[in-house]
Structures are given as C-alpha cells and as structure tokens.
Amino acid sequence: MTGVGLYERVLEQVGKGASLPRPRSPRASASVVPWRETAAGLEVYWIKRAESLAFMGGWHAFPGGGLSRGDQGIKYSGRPQMIDDAPPDGALPVAVLDGVSDLGPIDPPGLLICAVRELFEETGLMLGASTVEPIAEDALTRQLRTPRRQLLSKEVDFAGVLSSANLLPTVSDLVYAGRWLTPPLGPMRFDNRFFLLNWQKARAAQPEIIGGEIESGEWIRPAIALQRWRDGEVLTAPPILHILEVLDQVGPATGVERLQRPVECNLGPFRRIEFRPGVLLFPLRTPTLPPASHTNAYLLGTEDCVLVDPGSPVEEEVDRLRMGLEATERRLDRRVTAIWLTHHHPDHVGGVEPLRDALGVPVLAHPATAARLRERGLKVDGELQDDERVVLPGAPPMEIRVLHTPGHARGHLCFLLEQDGSLVAGDIVAGLGTIVIDPPEGDMSDYLRSLERLRDLAPSTIFPGHGPAIKNAVAKLVESIDHRLWREQRILDAWGSGCQKPDEILEVAYDEIPEIVRPLAERQVLAHLERLRSAGFLDRSDSRE
C-alpha cells in the first residue's frame, strides 16, 4: 500500500452513512430573448458576459438576471402572452418538466419587472409607456442613458429611474418561452423564466452595451450562433442552445409551445446538459467535500461513448444516472461502451460497480489507480496510458488524448478532446473550491508539473470533476499555478522566520482560512514543505538563521 492521507480518510468518513449535502435553493430570475426579421432571416440579440465574472464569465447568454427585492413593489401594465392553459389571473403557467421535479413555486412577485429591468440594464431597451404624455422612442432612449448608467453604478434603483422618467413598465410584448433551473454545479443557481420579445430593426431604439458585466452584444442568426458553439468559439448554457435550435428550425410563432414545454430536452430525470458537442454532463449528489455537493459524471462521444467518473455510491443517484443513460441511448443513440476513471478517490468511483453490472462494460484507469482500487476490492478491467489516443466513432469521430497528470493522485488522468481542445479534468482543477494535495498520495511538485503541462497544451474549456465548466481554461491554469507558488512563498517566508512546524506555518501562511478546513490545509503545508526540501530551499533557509 502507498498509504492513505487525511484527505482520503475524510472522504471515506463523509461517505459512511452521512446525509448527502443539498445545493442551495435557486434564485428566481428572468431573461429576455430579443428577435427580429431581416432580409437574411431571423436574428436574435445575445450578449457576452465579461470574462472576469465569477459566474459564467465569458459565456454567451440572453439579457437577464436575478430577481431583486426592489422588483417586487413596482407596478406594471399588461400581461405577457401565454400558452392556452395559462391561469386566467395572469400568473405564469406551471412548466411541464417531464420528470424534473425540483423546482419551486412559479411567478414570484416582481418577476416580470425583473425581466424589464434586466433588459434595460444590459441593452438599454425599455418596455414602458409615459404616464404623463407620449414620448418618441428615440427621445426616451436619449433621456434614459444617464439614468441607466446611474442604475448600473447603483446610484439609483429601478423604481427611481421609472419615477424620474414618468414611466409605467408594460409587459404585453413579452411572450413566455419556458422555465429552466441551473443544474447543481455550484452555489449560484437560478430558477429562470425566458421571454421572447419581437424588436424589429426599424425601431428607433436599438440595443446599446455599456461596459462592465457585459463585454459585448450582437444580432446574430440562430444557425450561425449554433455553428459558433459547435466550432468551440463560444460557451453557452443548455436553455440558450435549445432556444437557438427551436428558433432556427421553426421560428418564434411555431416554436413557442416547444419553448414553453421543453420536454424534448429531458434525458430521463436530467435536463440535457451539453456544453460542448459530445460532452454530456450528469451531476450526481455525492459524499464529497464542501463547497461541492455533486460530482460530475461525463458521457463522451456521439455514438459509442465512454462514461467518466460515475462517482456517487448512493443507490438513488446510481438509478438516476442509469435512467439518464438509458434515455440518452434511446433519444440520442449514444451508448456506453466503457467506464473511464480519472482517479481512485471515493467521490469519483462510488457508482462503478453497480454501473459496470448494469451496463455490462469494462472499467479502465491508469495502472496506479488500478492498483489503489484493487486494495479496496474494486476490479479495473483495462489500463489507460499517458499519451494514448482513443477514437470514438461518430460524425465527426471524437479523438481523445489520455494525459497522465499526477499530483492530486498518483494515477490521475485528464482527457483532452482533440477536435476543440476541451479538457475533462477530474480533480486537477475545480470549478469551485480548491484542490487538496495531500501526501503521501498527493505530490506538490508533480501537481505543478501537471498544471504546467496542461497550460502548455492550451485547452479551450475545462470540464472539472466538481463545479461548472470553465471557459478561460489557460487563465484558470495559470491562476492555479500562481496561487500555489504564492502560497509556497508564504510558507518559505514563515520557515525563514523560525516557524518550522506545520501547525506554526499554518498560522502564518493560511491565516485567512476557516477553522473547519485547517486540518486539510496543514496537509497542504506538508506537501509544500516536501517540495521545498527536495529543491534545497529549506536548507538554504536554515543556513540564513
């Protein structure tokens, strides 16, 4: 045996009869999809979120955002256009979800004002009429430019903007276009309602972007937007893709009922999450370390597929994944031919045995992972080697390069999709939280070398084992390297000042962390000390004393 560190023991204890962590309740939100007809065909207006944003930084979306308290007290006129079974009192209809049952009550107060406000904040388009005397649309746009900037800088609230311009919001041009829940990939989640808005080119007011949270915006044909997604140029969320597909196929009038009832996007108990073509994500509730509550299982391929890291040991979650995979084979003709593992930790292998039995497929991993799992009585049927290339059939075929990336675990693997540079990264980086390097299994020198190798390969998007997809992959890898070296310098400084026991160094180098994570942070200190000692830095520090 190689020995078991504190991190792995903690994971094992978390998995012994512990209740599964639950994600936070989602925040009510609304988005607006402006569209118009042109000589070239239908166009929609979408935005690119600023790269620096913590949530979906650099992603493409439609104008929208979360409900604020101020939205709930603002009056409006009209009612949005609904499907036939909408309640007569003007409330929004309950979405038909076909097995997705974790949504709360619909139509909180102020939801429609949220849609109007977010549209105005992000594009400058105002849905409202003067309560005093009619005003031309171009004049109103000019009048609202300064208040809009004040709203974005939080100098005024939306109610103040409306009052100063004598405006009453109107929602009769909004067409309800479906309800989507952000998957449980991180702490920030939204229960989002979409609305179509016909905004033709002849209108005097047109979208204007003010730098800040929004980097850019453009009118674009849905087919072109979808092709940019297929080519790996943009990253966007499942509801955006569905709206683009429906509008491209049949347009807003014919497609509205498909948008309002997106049952075609369900894969058994899951909504379809495919951030890149051929990369399906199934988030599974798993005994793991906070802030994560889920481990991401990935299905790679478009015909014969591999399932990566079915991590949950919980029977209910294994059954959900099995049903999701069955629905994927039935609806998308994608079938599992093998299970691949990024590494041996319990929150990445918990469902391997029941799924091997249910699917009748082999399990493959790095030889070091296979050795560790044999110690637990878990069989690995085949090995994956560094720089091995596997081609999965499809249109086009998917070529996957296997990368041995030790550091978090000795047998850790990442999988690079050669066509678009997507990286299925396991626990080499996290979409939330941090990666624990815990000796003897963890090695800080190996980990930094693995990060540097991945940085040099310049992946386009990272799909981590926990948390949401990361668009700015190279920047994330550089940030991870820089952070580790910054922390290491603090440890070296503490050593040089006379703090040479891990608990003493912890007080200096990790003084900002909460008490609950201090035991794991102390293991990180040990990993850094081993690296510094092997490089001779600690000897030099001693000589200066």
Q: What are phi and psi of 144, to 5 degrees?
A: -95, -5
Q: d(Cα 478, Cα 542) in Å, to the nearest integer?
A: 31
Q: Are 379 and 352 in contact (CB under 8 A)?
A: no
Q: What is the pLDDT of residue 513?
A: 83
Q: d(Cα 255, Cα 260) in Å, to the nearest integer?
A: 9
- CATH class, 6-20+286-482 region: alpha beta
Q: What is the pLDDT of residue 20?
A: 61
pLDDT digits (tens, 9 = 90+) for 456-491: 999 999 999 999 999 989 999 999 999 999 999 999
For 44-60, what is the mean pLDDT?
A: 91
Q: Return the SS3 of 235.
A: coil
Q: What is the pLDDT of residue 97?
A: 31
Entry field: residues in the chain = 545
Q: What is the pLDDT of residue 102?
A: 34
Q: What is the pLDDT of residue 345?
A: 95
Residue 240 burial (CB count, 10 A):
24
Structure token digits, residue 143: 């009048």
pLDDT digits (tens, 9 = 90+) for 340-359: 999 999 999 999 999 999 99
Q: d(Cα 368, Cα 131) in Å, to the nearest integer?
A: 72
Structure token digits, residue 281: 């994500």
Q: What is the pLDDT of residue 541?
A: 44
pLDDT digits (tens, 9 = 90+) for 264-314: 999 999 999 999 999 999 999 998 887 888 999 999 999 999 999 999 999
**Fold designation for 27-262:** Nucleoside Triphosphate Pyrophosphohydrolase (3.90.79)
Q: Are 190 and 153 in contact (CB under 8 A)?
A: no
13 CB contacts (<8 Å, ≥6 apart)? none
Whether 101 has a pLDDT exceeding 50, the answer reads no
Q: Return the SS3 of 429.
A: coil
pLDDT digits (tens, 9 = 90+) for 8-19: 777 776 666 555
Percent helix, strand, coil in the chain, to 5, is 35, 20, 40
pLDDT digits (tens, 9 = 90+) for 56-83: 889 999 999 998 989 888 999 988 877 5
What percentage of the chain exceeds 90 in pLDDT? 70
Q: Where are the domains of the chain?
A: 6-20+286-482, 27-262, 489-544
Q: DSSP letters along 161-187, please?
A: HHHHTTEEEB-TTEEEEEEEE--SSSS
The H or E element that residue 305 is part of is strand 304-308
Structure token digits, residue 54: 């913590």
